[in-house]
């Protein structure tokens, strides 16, 4: 057999084998890794989608929590996993941030842009500044004035280097104040201290605060969104209040390791775009203050790359570094 013909035949066999493997997927359970403890927004969302994907794919889709090092442990696990569609990552917007903030060794290093295959950015989570109803703070304008007058106030975020922390520092710069940061280990303890009036204001996602806002225990002061949301139509944006640079939200989305087969990406993207439109899913997301997004893998890849560049610059500008 001539060498050129032999190469052609071998190539055809390889392509055929790859296509056959893709067509057989999935033939066993799929694991979606969540790099945080159970109970948070990311974990709750992942479990909603895992249940729906299990039905559609005909195989169990299980959520596995791998918390540690601000998400790095779970992220690294997926980055180094076999790219066969059976180990996925339900990521959030700390993915392109955390390694710039935490001091970690090369043994758990990964590239947020090049070591993953984006599948879909399925949802957006607005960031909101809230305060206790007992704090005496009724507006952003009042908060800024009190800060400038030298009153002892502070702000809390779920952790150092989160989008909430970075958004708060952007606000400090835009408002010309230096309100000090109190980092927490998650949104739950932050909200607990807000309710106890132990921290002046907090930056968080609506899901953990919206119930307390409805009960009148917390006041939502402003959203870091370009426009008001349907879930909190009475809450103004920082843009409305004159702070045009204070626009930032958190995202969540599905990824795989680098080199995930295109057919697997296509199937998962199609299903997820359909799942986020289901009425029962939208009801659950509404309860958490989450807005479904959807879209293409390329759009998600662009989001991750843009965030990695943007956050890298902001982290250096504000000198954000975990202890």
Q: What order of strands is seen across the sheet that includes strand 201-204?
A: 181-183, 155-157, 201-204, 128-132, 218-223
230-282: pLDDT as tens digits = 878 899 999 999 999 999 889 999 999 999 999 999 999 999 999 999 999 99
164-192: pLDDT as tens digits = 999 999 999 999 999 999 998 888 889 99
Domain ranges (residues) in the chain: 28-125+251-318, 128-223
Whether 28-125+251-318 and 128-223 share one fold: the answer is yes
The whole-number average pLDDT for the span 200-224 is 93
The per-residue DSSP string of 82-129 comes to -SSSSEEEEEETTTTTHHHHS---GGG---TTTSEEEEEEEEEEE-EE
The helix/strand count (H/E) of the chain reads as 11, 11
The CATH number that domain 128-223 falls under is: 3.40.190.10
288-321: pLDDT as tens digits = 889 999 999 999 999 999 999 998 899 999 998 8
Phi (first) and psi of residue 157, to 5 degrees:
-135, 165
Secondary-structure breakdown of the chain: helix, strand, coil percentages, each rounded to the nearest 5: 45, 20, 35
Q: pTM of the entire structure?
A: 0.83
State which CATH number among 3.40.50.2000, 3.40.190.150, 3.30.750.24, 3.40.366.30 fits the domain covering 28-125+251-318: 3.40.190.150
Q: Which pLDDT band holds residue 132 (cuts at 50, 70, 90)? A: very high
The whole-number average pLDDT for the span 67-82 is 91
Phi (first) and psi of residue 21, to 5 degrees:
-65, -40
């Amino acid at each position: 057999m001539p060498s050129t013909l032999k190469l052609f035949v071998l190539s055809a066999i390889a392509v055929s084998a790859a296509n056959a493997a893709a067509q057989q997927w999935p033939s066993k359970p799929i694991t979606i890794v969540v790099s945080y403890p159970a109970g948070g927004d990311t974990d709750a969302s992942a479990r909603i989608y895992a249940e729906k994907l299990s039905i559609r794919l005909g195989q169990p889709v299980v959520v596995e929590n791998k918390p540690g090092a601000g998400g790095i442990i779970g992220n690294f696990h997926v980055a180094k996993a076999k790219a066969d569609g059976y180990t996925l990552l339900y990521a959030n917007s700390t993915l392109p941030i955390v390694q710039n903030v935490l001091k970690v060794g090369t043994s758990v290093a990964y590239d947020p842009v090049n070591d993953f295959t984006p599948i879909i950015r399925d949802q957006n989570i607005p960031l909101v500044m809230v305060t206790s109803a007992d704090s005496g703070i009724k507006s952003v304008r009042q908060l800024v004035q009190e800060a400038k007058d030298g009153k002892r106030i502070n702000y809390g975020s779920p952790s150092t280097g989160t989008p909430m922390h970075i958004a708060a520092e952007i606000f400090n710069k835009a408002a010309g104040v230096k309100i000090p940061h109190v980092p927490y280990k998650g949104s739950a303890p932050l909200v607990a201290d807000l309710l106890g009036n132990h921290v002046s204001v907090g930056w968080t996602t609506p899901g953990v605060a919206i119930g307390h806002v409805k009960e009148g225990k917390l006041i939502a002061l402003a959203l870091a969104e370009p426009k008001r949301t349907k879930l909190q139509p009475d809450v103004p944006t920082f843009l409305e209040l004159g702070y045009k640079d204070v626009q930032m939200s958190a995202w969540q989305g599905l990824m795989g390791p680098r080199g995930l087969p295109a057919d697997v990406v296509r199937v998962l993207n199609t299903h997820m775009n359909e799942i986020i439109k289901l009425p029962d899913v939208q009801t659950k997301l509404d309860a958490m203050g989450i807005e479904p997004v959807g879209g293409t893998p390329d759009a998600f890849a662009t989001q991750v790359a843009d965030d990695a560049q943007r956050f890298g610059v902001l982290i250096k500008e504000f000198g954000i570094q975990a202890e």
